[in-house]
Amino acid sequence: MNHVLIKKYDPLKKEMLEILDKDGKIINPTLDPKLDKETLLKMYKTMTLGRVADLRAVQYQRQGRMLTFAPNIGQEATQVGAAAAMQQGDWLSPAFRELNLMLYRGVPLSNIYLYWYGNENGSKFPRETNVLPVNIIIGSQIAIAAGIAMASKKQGKNEIALATIGDGGTSHGDFNEALNFAGAMEAPLVVLVQNNQWAISTPRSVATKAETIAQKAIAAGIKGIQVDGNDPLAMYVAMKEAREHALKTGPVLIEAVTYRIGAHTTSDDPSLYRDEKEVEEWKLKDPNERLKKYLISQKLWSEEEDIALDEENNKYVQEVFAETEKSGLLELEEVFKYTYDEMTPNQVEQYEYYKKFLEGSK
C-alpha cells in the first residue's frame, strides 16, 4: 500500500476527500471502496439506530428522565464510516459524542443510556469491544490512545488505537502533546477530529487560525488528511488507509468536516449564538439521507424497508430505556473497584471503612 490518498490530499491546499455527494451519487468512482451489501446495510442501520436513540435521549432528558446528553445528529457518517474500517482488535479512546461509533463497535445501547442516565455501570463495556469509557476531560483521550498504541507496538500486535476529539479540543495542550509523543515514537495511532464547526459557542474560525484542522498534523511530523465527514464512503476509505499507514509508518490525523445539528449538550441553547440558516444549509447534507439515497439507487434498500426499520428502531430504543429506568442504585464497591485492575491496599482500606460506616447507619 502506497498510501496515495494521504499523499495526494494536501491539507495545506485545503484538498478534501469526497466520494459520495449530498444526493447519494458517486462523484469519485476511482475511490469507490465497493463495499459489500452486508457492510453497507450494517453502516446504514447503525446510523439510523443512532439517530433514533439520539432524538429519544433528548426527549427523555427534557422530560427529566435522563441527565445531560450530548447530541450526535449530523455526525453519524463520520463515526460509522471510520468504525467500519477498523479491525476487531483495534482500540477506541472516545470523547463524549461517539454514540454511533460505539454502537458499530459493539457497545450495547443499554450501556450508553445507563451512562447518560447517571449510572456508572454504563461504563462497563464488553471487553471484546476494546472501547474505553467516555472521557470528559477534553484532550486527555488522545494521550491515553497514544499510550495504548505504543503498548500495542511494543507487544508486536497488529492493532491501532483510534482517538476522537472535536475541533475545539485541538486547541488543548493534551492534543498537541499526545500527537507529538505518538509521532516521535511512531505509534500506530489515528486521531479523528470531528470538525462540527462549533466548540460549544465558539465558532471554528475563532477557535484556531489554522486554515484546516488536518494541517495541525504537520507540526508533529505526521500525516494529515481532510475528509467530507458527511460522506460515509470517504470516511471508510480514509480510515482504512490511515489504519494501514499507522501500522507501517506512524500516526495519522483525520479531519472530518461535518456539522453539529443539535445543541452541544442538552444544557446548551445554540439559538443564542448561531444562525438558523447555517443549520438549515447543513441539514441538506444529512449523512443518513445521503447513504439512504445511495442504497436505494443501488437497489440495496427501499422506502418500505426504511419505514419498517424506523418502527423497529423506535420500539427497540423505548424498550432499552424502560430497562434503564429500572437500573436502581449502584453498590458501594463500584466507587473503588474499577480505577485499577485490582484495588490498591489504600483503596481496600477505604472501601472497608465506608462499608462498615454504611452498615452502621442502617
- Catalytic residue (one of 62, 273, 338, 353): 273
**354 tagged catalytic:** no
- Catalytic residue (one of 51, 245, 260, 290): 260
Residues 280 and 290 sit within 8 Å (Cβ to Cβ): no
Q: What's the CA gap between 250 and 221, in Å, rounded? A: 10
**264 tagged catalytic:** yes
* CA-to-CA separations, 354 to 37, 111, 335, 362, in angstroms, rounded: 55, 27, 11, 13
- Catalytic residue (one of 51, 56, 245, 264): 264
**273 tagged catalytic:** yes
Q: What's the CA gap between 62 and 136, in Å, rounded? A: 22
3-state helix/strand/coil string of the chain: CCCHHHHHCCHHHCCEECCECCCCCECCHHHCCCCCHHHHHHHHHHHHHHHHHHHHHHHHHHCCCCCCCCCCCCCHHHHHHHHHCCCCCCEEECCCCCHHHHHHCCCCHHHHHHHHHCCHHHHCCCHHHCECCCCCCCCHHHHHHHHHHHHHHHCCCCCCEEEEEECHHHHCHHHHHHHHHHHHHCCCEEEEEEECCEECCEEHHHHCCCCCCCCHHHHCCCEEEEEECCCHHHHHHHHHHHHHHHHHCCCEEEEEECCCCCCCCCCCCHHHCCCHHHHHHHHCCCHHHHHHHHHHHCCCCCHHHHHHHHHHHHHHHHHHHHHHCCCCCCCHHHHCCCCCCCCCHHHHHHHHHHHHHHHHHC
Would you please indicate which residues are annotated as catalytic (active-site) residues? 260, 264, 273
